[in-house]
Structure 1
Amino acid sequence: MHCSVDDEVIVKKNSIPQTSFSFELKNPNVKITVPEIPFFDLQTHPLASANKPHLRYLGSGGNFHLSILTPTADPGMTPEDCAKSQVQYLGGQYNLQKGQYSLLKSNDGTTYSIYFYLKMGEFYQQNAYLLSGSENKYCVQVHISKMTDDQNDLPLWLKGFPNARIR
């Protein structure tokens, strides 16, 4: 087991209010920054347990919903290995075909991401998965979603969050 549900979030007190999303956790030691979305608080994932320690945090703010998972990686997996594995899984889970998603890699090579949307009745669920690895023992998955009824939002969503990082 790689973490306990009771692991505490590392909180940095700052007199300047946060305006963009940033979150630090330990075990693994990871900092997640997504300047493209607003800051909001996260809580321990409600389904987290001793049997599901990879379920870490969940929260929402405005129209955004975000969850953090830290599944155990195979020994020696790099952030890129984690990302490839998770993209393959997500492609199958959502039945994504070429042209229905976009893939990005951060300039510093720490963060990989996939962006797509799903039609749900009269709405579109926009999905972003930020993917990385930590300590060659964990994969890190940050799922961000947002609902919209405006098709004009979709091309911008597929351009992704180029400044998002998992470090």
Structure 2
Amino acid sequence: MASSSTRSSRSSSPRSKSKPSGKPSANVTPWLWMAFALLVVMIDQFFKVVITRSFQYAESRPVTSFFNLVLVYNKGAAFSFLADAGGWQRWFFTVLGVAVGGFIVWLLYRHTGQKMFCLAVSLILGGAVGNVVDRVIHGHVIDFLDFHWRNTHFPAFNVADCAITLGAILLIVDELRRVRRH
């Protein structure tokens, strides 16, 4: 089956190996990417547990002249969007995160041969799930990384947010590389 698209059939993927039954093992790669996403969730949750056990709410500890560790809660989305919306946003962003996660799992099955694409969406999946875990358990997302310049602070964020951002950057790079090849 020939295809001009880089998101081509699994049969051309070097990862498609045959099982003893002769059927391709197409499900191996998605499971590995999902395991990677789970590792992202575990790292994110580990640091959040360490911070919540070591800090009081709103406590800030300088690490460098431009970086602090803090403990703050975000009931909204990125940059505290909708943080003061009255509580409905907790479940809205939880459902949105679950829906995005389901869509990403579907993408992982559809594009098993595309390593950078799968890495990117796995990072996004791990970050989304890490923040969904916070919303379900705590009712808010735990943020603890605070970068600043003089008296101007960038909104605090966490490992899950870093994974989502890195995944988004890799998606852009992957798409630019794909467009260049054609």
> Higher strand fraction: Structure 1 or Structure 2?
1
Structure (1 or 2) with the greater helix fraction: 2
**TM bucket normalised to smaller:** under 0.3
Higher RCO (C-alpha under 8 Å, 6+ residues apart)? 2
TM-score by length of 2: 0.26
